[in-house]
Chain A
Amino acid sequence: MTLQPVARCVAVSRVFEVPQHRGAAATVLALDAVNIDIAPGGLLALSGASGSGKSTLLSLLAALDRPTSGSVHVAGRDIGSLGRAARRRLRRSTAVLVLPQPADNLLLALSGRGNLLSVARVRGIGDRAEAVIESLVEQMELAAFVDQPCAVMSGGEQQRLAVACALVGAPPLLLADEPTGALDQASAATLITSLRAAVQGGATIIAATHDPNVIAAADSVVRLDHGRRVS
């Protein structure tokens, strides 16, 4: 039996208009007819040089942007045709994005547990929240710092917590943009371990990265170059 892809990009292009002097605008082709099928489970590494379109693709998959042409399907739904509310629901519980800067993924005024509870509330987990969080704390090895305010955590701790937040409620698709980009080697290694643990738990993760360690840990790799898929 063939598994339905959790996400699919069909001839996806994205063109940005960049305002220039005297009211003129230049166009930048960020993605050029990209086709990708992402099977459920596993860690997919999106690699490529800066400006190759990795983050744009993640934004499209995370329903933060719309393609100029082509279609992006997540969990069987064409993101481009969805309304604002439906796209919001998709972001809430289906395609969750982790940003490169650890601090950008957390409400710094709250503790780690506060952030996890906040996400659990948004995703409507309700009574099971405590159990789900405890399970994630154990799985991601957060116990040592989860009750501390996020502002005092290290970058590595913050990013692991961010991944944990993203995994609350087991969304079908986790999108991570340069997850190790702002971390030292040790922290990056711990995070990769965490990502692998999440995959073992059934998550599907797409990580846009330059980090060879992440690429090495990935189950599959997609390379982009100037907006085109090259492998």
Chain B
Amino acid sequence: MLPFALTVMLAVFCAAGAALYVSSAGSASIGEQLAESCRSTTGLTLPVLRDSSDAEAIVAGLGASLPFVDVPRSGATASTELIDEQGTPRRLRLMQLDGLGEHVTAPFAALALGEVALSATNAELLHLAVGDEITLAAGGALVVGRVYDDIALAPIPDAWCGLEYLIAPNPAGDPPPPSALASRETVRLVAGDDPNLYEFVEYRLTTDSVTLTDVAATHAAFERAVAGWNTAFADAPYRMTLETELDTVLSRGTAVRDTVARSLAPVRVASLLSIACVLIAATVLLGRERRRELRLLAMRGEHPARIALAFTPSLLAAALPAGVLGFASAWLTVTHFGPSALLETHAIRSAVLAATACVLAGVMLAATTIGVLADRSVDHPTRHVHARFLLPLGCLTLCALTLWSFRRLDTVGGIRTYGVQARGGDMLALGFPLSLLLAMTAATALVLRAAITHARLSGGRLPRALRLGWRRVVLEAGPTVATVAAVALAAGSMITATALADGARDQLHDKAAVYVGSDLAVTLFDEPVLSPSLASRATLAWTTTADWADGRVELWGVDRATFAAATALRDDGSELPLADLIALLEPTVGTPAPAIVVGGDLAVGEEANIQVAGTDQPLRIAVVATARFFPGKTSGSAQVVVDRSVVIAGAPYATRKLLVREPPTGLVDSLRASGVRTGVVLSSATTFDASNFSGLRWAYRPLATLGLLFASMAMAVQLLVIAARRETRRASHLVMRRTGFTRRALWRAALVETLLPPLLGVAVGIGAAVGAAALAVVRLDPMPLLAPPAQFSMPWPTVVAIIVAVPVWAVVVAGLIVRTTLHSDPMRTMRGEQ
């Protein structure tokens, strides 16, 4: 009954674990999205109208119904004008938001009426210091009560997010208009009757972990609150619309969850089908143990259904605790090793239902198998359905499925990332690696079964112990083929999963490196001064867009002395190493500029004209090398790389980019502090939405779990074989040991028996996995339009781990064989009692 119970446990683990895992991925995705988002922009801001006396109460009432939000923050903002030292009026924005003063350096709790706090930059800009008076154009004055350090921008503190327009420079590097923090009363006093005064209450999502369902509920509550606000303030001068990034967070989280669910579907189907096969095998073993009883019942003419029913209570008694254990294992595995420990209630309910269904289906399947076994044990059909036709048929079916899924994968690809969205994930296409593994395993099983049939008497010249081990391997095709197949599937699934997950990670890294140009790219509006240590891994490049005969082109001028040290190019990017490529760019006076062309139709030796914006004269280039991709290539347009002097001379509006390999922390801040105006900052670590990558990783991880499952099955098959052959093994050893068959010889025979099938399985698994992953990785490229193309790389750590694990397991099983063979009562063994 133990094998049956273990199989039910595995089935429950798979079925319940799948439901829990999808929910866990959804929660983790939401967690990542929220961590990457500003809690202000993902929250809800409800305006408080000044001309309504109960506006605050109404808004508070609407806010009270919002789930999963923090304590609301009230705020007010207004614009005014001050008179500067030269007597010129300058715009000044006053801002009040609960608790904002506690998140500056040095923090403060409250400001007095008429008192303001300025950032260091604003104070410097307005030539003000603590104690100075600000004269307002409309009359009256404010006093500078505090000056705080500038707020960090990368990353911006949580309390300040959503207020970037007050502190961050615009893309041209210009600082924002001056602003000051003030108390609510000061803002109201300064604004007076000015309609620009805007008071609001901000509801931010809780910092506690939330699930996808929680976020969906919060989003729905936001919508209700907005509708409620519009109803309550029907006379308001404007209608409120829901402007929150929460819907983006929600849609991304949902997309990741759906992607994982779609990816999990073929894995779940394959695992449950495999488990069903093992369940039947375990039940057949149970039937063997109780064959006398089954035969008697069938001989007495009991209907198979009644025999099945008679066994149901004992099956249920084994399946129920196994189901509970399986569910608990799934729960623990997902919460401890899954993407997130946070699970949705409906997912838990689904998991419980799936577990219950598995237990019931397992019991029904086992009971039915027992009923059929009993019936067949006494009344053999005259016309046999030969099992030898089933395996080729199954193999052909799997091959057809593999071809079909490959065509699908080739056509639609895998999970694709479009900006921040992950789409795609066709179940059939994603099932290709698994179907290829299954097909190759089935083909191996087919060949192996035929080979074993013809090899039963082989190995005659081997030493006695090795011969005994070998003969036990080829004694019965079923157990050996089952072990080889289970090990092949286990090894194959684990290697494929690792190759796909690692491939997705490497692809993201490679594409980000090409897109950014290096680890960090900063657009600069001034010439930077770099420290010597940084200069060795940094370079300046000038970029602009231009036109040529084929359309738009990205023109890059690179510093030949430093570019190769600050950037990298994957081996398949070009025929030449990066340093050699760059060396070709040395310009010669009076000749076309040497250029590397990435994309486009030009060949080496050809020349072309490039029309750069802002100049009348076209830039003449001569192609000295071509590349498939190059650092800084960001689109499908061709990229032309020349020496920087060519761009500086020929492109007046070129943008200066600082590319840095392994940038130190705070580099951008230190550049800004040194007076260099900075524009767009791109980091290869954050360029592509990490949560999309997580979605891919989570989508491929279950395949590894399936590998573990198959590994468990392989172990179960071997243990079942040991259990089934225990009696004959003991009896034959009793005879053999009288003829000099020692304990050491028994060990050797057991090792041959336990090691050969798994080793063959591992070889088949590795071969199948490499084939599957090599074919799939390229087609599963999540961003196929972005260079470089996906590339398969062998997951050596996983391969080595599997190769090491197999002999260890074989020794353990051989030890079990030796122990169970030697520890027996000879007399009882000979009588067949144990």
Contacts and interface: CB of A to CB of B under 8 A. Distances in A.
B292 A93 contact: no
A167 B147 CA distance: 108
A92 interface: yes
Given A23-B453, A66-B382, A84-B375, A107 B296 contact: yes
A97 interface: yes
Contact of A106 (B296, B298, B301, B303): B296
B301 A21 contact: no
Contacts, number: 50
Contacts of A84: 375, 379
Contact of A21 (B295, B303, B379, B457): B457
B300 A91 contact: yes
A128 interface: no
B299 A97 contact: yes
Interface in A60-78: 62-66
B302 interface: yes
A99 B456 CA distance: 34
A148 B303 CA distance: 27
B382 A122 contact: no
A87 interface: yes
Interface in A88-123: 88-93, 96-97, 99, 103-107, 118-119, 122-123
- Size category, B interface: 10 to 19
Contacts of A106: 296
Interface in B276-303: 292-293, 295-296, 298-303
A101 to B, nearest CB: 9
B293 A107 contact: yes
Contacts of B379: 63-65, 84, 87-88
B292 A92 contact: no
Contacts of B457: 21
B456 A21 contact: yes
Contacts of B456: 21
Contacts of A122: 300-302
B454 interface: yes
Nearest to B450: A23
A91 B375 contact: no
A89 B303 CA distance: 9
B454 A64 contact: no
A8 to B, nearest CB: 20
Nearest to A66: B382
Most B-side CB within 10 Å, residue of A65, A88, A89 = A88
Given A91-B299, A122-B301, A64 B453 contact: no
A71 B523 CA distance: 97
Contacts of B298: 91
B833 to A, nearest CB: 13
B172 interface: no
Contacts of B382: 66
Interface string A45-83: 000000000000000001111100000000000000000
B296 A92 contact: no
Interface in B375-416: 375, 378-380, 382
B300 A92 contact: yes
Interface residues on A, range: 20 to 34
B829 to A, nearest CB: 19
Interface string B452-495: 01101100000000000000000000000000000000000000
B388 to A, nearest CB: 9
Interface string A10-33: 000000000001110000000000
Contacts of A63: 379
Given A64-B379, A87-B379, A93 B296 contact: no
Interface string B151-188: 00000000000000000000000000000000000000
A180 B300 CA distance: 21
A22 B453 contact: yes
Contacts of B295: 104
A161 to B, nearest CB: 13
A23 B296 CA distance: 32
Interface in B406-465: 453-454, 456-457
A145 to B, nearest CB: 19
B300 A119 contact: yes
A105 B297 CA distance: 9
Contacts of A64: 299, 378-379
Contacts of B293: 107
Interface in B619-654: none
Interface centre among B298, B302, B456 (most CB of A within 10 A): B302
A104 to B, nearest CB: 6
Nearest to B292: A104
Nearest to B380: A65
A92 B380 contact: no
Contacts of B301: 88-93, 122-123
Contacts of B375: 84, 88
B572 to A, nearest CB: 50
Nearest to B384: A17
Interface in A129-155: none
A89 B375 CA distance: 12
A17 B789 CA distance: 60
Contacts of A91: 298-301, 378
B448 to A, nearest CB: 15
A105 B380 contact: no
A91 B296 CA distance: 11
B682 to A, nearest CB: 67
Contacts of A105: 296
A57 B66 CA distance: 83
A99 B380 CA distance: 18
B302 A62 contact: no
Contacts of A99: 299
B311 to A, nearest CB: 13
Contacts of A65: 379-380
A60 to B, nearest CB: 12
Nearest to A17: B384
Nearest to A68: B382
Contacts of A66: 380, 382
A73 to B, nearest CB: 17
A66 B382 CA distance: 7
A203 to B, nearest CB: 17
B294 to A, nearest CB: 11
A91 B300 CA distance: 6
Contacts of B454: 22-23
A92 B375 CA distance: 13
A62 B320 CA distance: 39
B245 to A, nearest CB: 67
Contacts of B292: 103-104
Contacts of A62: 299
A107 B293 CA distance: 6
A22 B457 CA distance: 9
Nearest to B378: A64
Contacts of B453: 22-23
A89 to B, nearest CB: 7
Interface string B297-335: 011111100000000000000000000000000000000
B59 to A, nearest CB: 75
Given A21-B456, A88-B301, A91-B301, A104 B296 contact: yes
Contacts of A97: 299
Nearest to B456: A21
- 3 tightest A-B contacts by CB? A92-B301, A91-B301, A64-B378
23 contacts: A21-B457, A22-B453, A22-B454, A23-B453, A64-B299, A66-B382, A84-B375, A84-B379, A88-B303, A89-B301, A91-B298, A91-B299, A91-B300, A91-B378, A96-B300, A99-B299, A103-B292, A104-B296, A106-B296, A107-B293, A119-B300, A122-B300, A122-B301
Given A64-B379, A92-B301, 14 more contacts: A22-B454, A23-B453, A23-B454, A62-B299, A64-B378, A88-B379, A91-B299, A91-B301, A91-B378, A99-B299, A104-B296, A119-B300, A122-B300, A122-B301
Interface of A: 21-23, 62-66, 84, 87-93, 96-97, 99, 103-107, 118-119, 122-123
